[in-house]
Amino acid sequence: MTAGEFDFSKLTQRTAAPGTALQQLPPARGEDHVRVISSLEEMRAAVDAVAASAQRLMSIYTPDLEPDVYDQNGFLEIVKRFVLARRFAKVRVLLSDSGRLLRDNNRFIAMGRRLTSCIDIRPVIGPIKQRACGYLIADDRAIVYRVHADRWDGVADLNNPPIARQYLDEFDEIWHASAADEQARLAIR
């Protein structure tokens, strides 16, 4: 598996005919909730479920905080309850294309401006900026992942710590590399 690819073999299997849709595996562990996602409605529901499962940390890697997903009342309410109800709750967002975001009105950004101690948004710096994927990780156990952020096809798992940690490690690496550009961070705020 190369960097930036999701290991679908741990979550899904293909049907006998090549090119057919991914089929969901039966749960291998007690409380698995693996889902294959193929529509905007399914993506919204999966993002809401993963976000609602967070206890300490939400990490979001997205091109531009897609308004169809992250600027929805349900998601915004989940984030608001998360950061206000938990003393050490943190939401971190990495934007690989912040240009569009600065032109659009985004309620998540407005919430981030009001709750700066809980929500931190950074533009991605460097060669990683060209990554096409998008994901949301709750703590180090739940994840929604799309190979291509411009499509709704993806997978969600509410209880897969090995995969969630793998992408959280990647997120942390990009997060720390993007910390240097304070000027770009201030432009988003």
Burial class (CB in 10 A: 0-12, 13-18, 19+), 137: buried
pLDDT at 130: 58
Residue 41 inside a domain? The answer is yes
pLDDT at 124: 87
142-146/134-138 β-pairing: antiparallel
pLDDT at 100: 64
> What is the domain-level CATH number for residue 57?
3.30.870.10
Q: What is the pTM of this model?
A: 0.79
Residue 168 inside a domain? The answer is yes
Residue 38: which residues within 8 A CB-CB, separation 6 or more? 21, 152, 153
pLDDT at 22: 37
Residue 16 inside a domain? The answer is no
The conformation of residue 127, written as its DSSP 8-state character, comes to G
Of the listed ranges 67-71, 130-134, 154-158, the least confidently predicted one is 130-134
The structural domain count of the chain equals 1
Residue 6 inside a domain? The answer is no
Residue 122 inside a domain? The answer is yes
At 144, is the secondary structure helix, strand, or coil? strand
Residue 153 inside a domain? The answer is yes
- Domain range enclosing 140: 31-188
Q: Is the pLDDT of residue 60 over 80?
A: yes
CA distance 157 to 137: 10
Residue 98 inside a domain? The answer is yes
77: β partners: none
